[in-house]
Amino acid sequence: MLVIFDCDGVLVDTEPLANRCFAEALNREGLAWDVPQTMRRLMGRSMKSCIEIVEAELGRPVAPDFVERLQERTFARFREEGVRAISGVVTALDALERAGRRTCVASSGDHGKMRLTLGGAGLWDRFDGRIFSSTQVARGKPAPDLFLFAAERMGAAPAESVVIEDSSAGAQAARAAGMQAFGYVGAPHTDRAGLIEAGATIFDDMSGLPALLGVAA
């Protein structure tokens, strides 16, 4: 079995801060979305997909340097406030590794962002060489491209792969790839209903993940 982890909100607790930065940037651009609305519309998607949605709402392109400025502010806030691993995820990873389960990361974020967030949480070295980004495929989530790419690179068949997600777009991508999806709903902002609708098996305690995958803690 290959266990594919999303990054933000699954391995590292970054979603609230990242979406706060995104909402602030959207407000400066003239789109009056608050943080919950930003999460509901954009969470789990690639930056390219997010910008397409935003520009459709605005009816015009965003500023040429919008993404660059957003990333600069977001990365600065990560450095200022720190990045923590999701509670229980280290315990879960330890158990999966002891049981011989292979793991990797497949995220809508780029490698630079993941190096900062996973590195800040002490997880980059643990996954080094097994970290995949939507920037490496044609289509981001909810398309299946990223998860299929990760499985191919890891030498695993889709039917032998499971995906750990926290967004409905990610769960949709997993199901479209022919993989079982598990939706982590331990954070208060998580779209539980959306994950269920997307076909994910939901759970709220990351330390209990190994048991869901048939592995003793």
77-126 confidence digits (pLDDT tens): 999 999 999 999 999 999 999 999 999 999 999 999 999 999 999 999 99
Neighbours of 112 (CB within 10 A): 12
How many CA within 13 A on the CB side of residue 164? 32
Residue 163 half-sphere exposure, CB side, CA atoms within 13 Å? 37
Residue pair 123/129 in contact (Cβ under 8 Å)? The answer is no
> Do 20 and 56 fall into the same domain?
yes
- Give yes or no for residue 216 having a pLDDT over 80: no
Q: What is the pLDDT averaged over residues 189-208?
A: 94
Domain boundary among 81, 101, 117: 81
What's the one-letter identity of residue 59?
G
Whether residue 217 is predicted with pLDDT greater than 70 in this model: the reply is no
Stretch 143-149: mean pLDDT, rounded? 98
Q: Are residues 56 and 105 in the same domain?
A: no
184, β-bridge pairs = 203
Residue, of 216 and 127, whose pLDDT is higher: 127
Q: pLDDT band at residue 75, thresholds of 50, 70 and 90? A: very high
- Residue 70 clears pLDDT 80, i.e. is over it: yes
Residue 15 binned pLDDT confidence (cut-offs 50, 70, 90)? confident
Three-class SS of residue 127?
A: helix
CB count within 10 Å of CB 60 equals 10
Report, as an integer, the average pLDDT of 162-180. 97
Residue 217 is assigned to a structural domain of this protein: no
Mean pLDDT, rounded, for 156-185: 97
The 10 Å Cβ neighbour count of residue 138 is 9
In a domain, 19, yes or no: yes
pLDDT band for 153, please (50, 70, 90 cuts).
very high
φ, ψ for residue 131, nearest 5 deg: -120, 120
What's the pLDDT tens digit per position in 18-32? Answer: 999 999 999 999 999
| Mean pLDDT for all residues in the chain | 95
Check whether 194 has a pLDDT greater than 90.
yes
If asked whether residues 110 and 73 sit together in one domain, one would say no
The domain that holds 157 is classified in CATH as 3.40.50.1000
Total domain count, the chain:
2
Domain interval for residue 183? 2-14+84-212
Q: Give CA–CA dist 208/83, Å, rounded.
A: 22
**Are residues 130 and 180 part of one domain?**
yes
Residue that terminates a domain, selected from 63, 81, 99: 81
Q: What is the mean pLDDT of residues 140-167?
A: 97
